[in-house]
Structure 1
């Protein structure tokens, strides 16, 4: 059944990619990654355009997933997805919040769990969109760039090293984010200290 759905989406080309990434952020249990890889295999020269379309579709779908979380809460997730996925994502979200969205962009856990959890926990929508934009862009464009450079051979690279590449990129993004927050906190402390002395 999964193959027939993916083949159906693949038949619609770029629009299938857009639709799949859109519903991937809302309710659909199969990640858009699979449609992206299938279509990139067909025409690697189109891989960056597919990555862009997938990225935009995901961002358009994320607020709807967030709204579902606001209205239906976590109980909705337990009805449509594996309990272990929901429990794992919930634990990450409760512990790390912002970082969980970054990490959720790279893990096999469906991204819709994070959009719906964001809504159900009243996590700010603008933060969800900001962190999702960085994380999802990285994931879509890693695949797009690999296919654009290596053509159909990229499938082997993705099968063997995608998790490793994604994790390395996640660490780089997390480090930049951590340093930025530390710098911002230091600046704020300096401003508060100078205002107290005046």
Structure 2
């Protein structure tokens, strides 16, 4: 961590990139340190972290495609692996969005997406949304409040992430409900059509 901090902007970029691949410590810590030193550059630092994370995401995905669950079992806590797998299996793409707002390291979802051959473009889309909220929330806080933001990050970030997570979850559930309704209606129409066809055929035979 000291080595990365001494590299300044480049260190944050590297940290954010490897955070999406294998590094156990979140890039948030580097962002906080550098933003506290230069609050006027906080938005720029958030952008550096955001881009670094997006570049690291497909690399983590590639590791998942190549090495599968072997990597996750060796480098991650079992409870994190089990939680992420259960979330991914049950909710699919929504798990990536949820993963962006939970304490479960996001690298688990990038590697797990590769393991399960999940579309890379979807992973990048959801990663961009989740990471943007985290990096830019911190960036805006430091830019507006200066070093005083250090005492605000935990509480404000938690509230914002929970709010955004709840909003996204509500939208996802609504979309899923509408899709299920349409599917049921379509199935009902197909069955009704088949029954009408059978009745018509029976009538002609009689």
Instruction: State the TM-score, normalizing by the size of structure 2.
Output: 0.82
What per-residue deviation string (whole Å, max 9, x for no partner) do you get for residues 150-180 of structure 1? 1111111113342222111222233344556
1:33 aligned onto 2:28: yes
> What is the RMSD of the two structures over their aligned residues, measured on CA atoms?
2.2
Q: Is the 8 A contact 2:134 2:157 kept in 1?
A: no
The 5 Å alignment of 1:82-161 reads 82-161=77-156
**Which of the residues 47, 59, 83 maps onto 1:52?**
47
**Which of the residues 4, 12, 18 maps onto 1:9?**
4
SS of residue paired to 1:78: helix
Q: Is the 8 A contact 2:20 2:107 kept in 1?
A: yes
Q: Which runs of 5+ in 1 are unaligned?
A: 1-5
- Over 3 Å counting, the alpha-carbon distance change for 1:47 and 1:81 in structure 2 is same
Q: How far did residue 98 of structure 1 move? A: 1.2
- Over 3 Å counting, the alpha-carbon distance change for 1:180 and 1:49 in structure 2 is farther
Q: Which runs of 5+ in 2 are unaligned?
A: 191-206
Q: Tell me the distance in 2 between the aligned counterparts of 1:72 and 1:118.
A: 12
Q: Tell me the distance in 2 between the aligned counterparts of 1:66 and 1:176.
A: 26
What is aligned with 1:164?
159
Q: Tell me the distance in 1 between the aligned counterparts of 2:59 and 2:119.
A: 14
Q: Is the 8 A contact 2:65 2:114 kept in 1?
A: yes
- Over 3 Å counting, the alpha-carbon distance change for 1:154 and 1:116 in structure 2 is same
What per-residue deviation string (whole Å, max 9, x for no partner) do you get for residues 26-76 of structure 1? 111111011111111111111111111111111111111011101111121
- Over 3 Å counting, the alpha-carbon distance change for 1:182 and 1:47 in structure 2 is farther
How many equivalent residue pairs? Answer: 187
SS of residue paired to 1:106: coil
Larger radius of gyration: 2
Instruction: State the TM-score, normalizing by the size of structure 1.
Output: 0.85
